[in-house]
C-alpha cells in the first residue's frame, strides 16, 4: 500500500484504496441488479450509505429503459446505438441465437431463464420491444406495464430483420422525454 493512499484524520488512518474498492464493488453489484439492501449486506455497510453514494453520483434521474429485441439482423449496430442513447438494459438476439437459447436448456432451465428475463424486465420503468406484433402483445400482457413496440414483422418471424437505427433512436428519445 502506497503512503499516498493513506490519510490521517485525527486519530484515524483512512485507506483511500479501500474506500475506492468498496464504492466500485457497490456500483458493480447495483449495476447487476442487486437491491441497495442486498449490496449493503454483501459489503457489510449500511444501506443508507449505498443510497447516499448513488445520490451523490447521480447524473440522470428518471425512468429506466430496457430494450428486448429479436430476431435482429444488425444487432451489433443496434446495441451500439442503444448504449450511446443511455439505455439501461439491452437484450438482443438473432434468429440463430434465439433457437440456440431454447435448444441449450432443458424445460425447467428454459422456464427459469425466461422467468429471470421477465423479472429483469419488470424492474424497469419502461420496456421497448423490437419484434413481431405477437411478441409485443405477449410482453404487454406479461409485464402489465408500459411497453412500447417497435414492430419488425408479423408473427411468426423466421429470419433476422433489419432494424433502422435512426428510427429506433427517434423512438428511444421520445420515450425518454
The residue among 11, 28, 57 that closes a domain is 57
CA 138, CA 157: separation in Å to the nearest integer?
A: 15
Count of domains observed in the chain: 2
pLDDT digits (tens, 9 = 90+) for 9-59: 899 899 889 899 999 998 999 988 888 999 999 999 998 898 888 878 764
pLDDT at 115 over 90: yes
CATH no. for residue 19? 1.10.10
Same domain, 123 and 161: yes
Q: Across the chain, what does the average pLDDT equal?
A: 90
CATH no. for residue 97? 3.40.50
Average of pLDDT values for 133-140?
A: 93
Instruction: Determine the structural domain holding residue 109 and report its residue range.
Output: 65-176
Alpha-helical regions (H) of 1-86? 16-31, 36-43, 47-57, 75-84
Same domain, 38 and 91: no
Same domain, 32 and 70: no
Same domain, 53 and 128: no
Per-residue HEC secondary structure of 107-153 comes to HHHHHHHHHHHHHHHHCCCEEEEEEEHHHHHHHHHHHCCCEEEEEEE
Average of pLDDT values for 155-163?
A: 95
pLDDT for the residue numbered 34: 85
Amino acid at each position: 500500500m502506497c503512503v499516498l493512499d493513506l490519510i490521517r484524520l485525527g486519530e484515524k488512518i483512512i485507506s483511500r484504496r479501500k474506500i475506492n474498492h468498496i464504492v466500485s464493488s457497490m456500483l458493480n453489484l447495483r449495476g447487476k441488479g442487486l437491491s441497495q439492501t442486498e449490496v449493503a449486506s454483501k459489503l457489510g455497510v449500511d444501506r443508507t450509505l449505498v443510497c447516499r453514494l448513488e445520490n451523490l453520483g447521480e447524473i440522470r434521474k428518471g425512468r429506466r429503459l430496457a430494450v428486448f429485441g429479436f430476431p435482429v439482423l444488425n444487432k451489433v449496430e443496434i446495441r451500439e446505438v442503444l448504449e450511446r442513447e443511455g439505455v439501461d438494459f439491452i437484450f438482443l438476439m438473432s434468429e440463430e441465437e434465439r433457437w440456440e437459447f431454447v435448444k441449450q436448456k432443458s424445460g425447467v432451465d428454459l422456464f427459469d431463464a425466461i422467468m429471470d428475463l421477465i423479472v429483469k424486465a419488470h424492474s424497469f420503468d419502461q420496456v421497448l420491444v423490437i419484434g413481431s406484433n405477437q411478441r409485443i402483445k405477449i410482453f404487454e400482457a406479461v409485464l402489465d406495464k408500459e411497453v412500447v413496440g417497435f414492430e419488425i414483422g408479423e408473427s411468426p418471424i423466421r429470419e433476422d430483420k433489419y432494424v433502422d437505427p435512426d428510427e429506433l433512436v427517434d423512438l428511444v428519445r421520445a420515450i425518454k422525454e
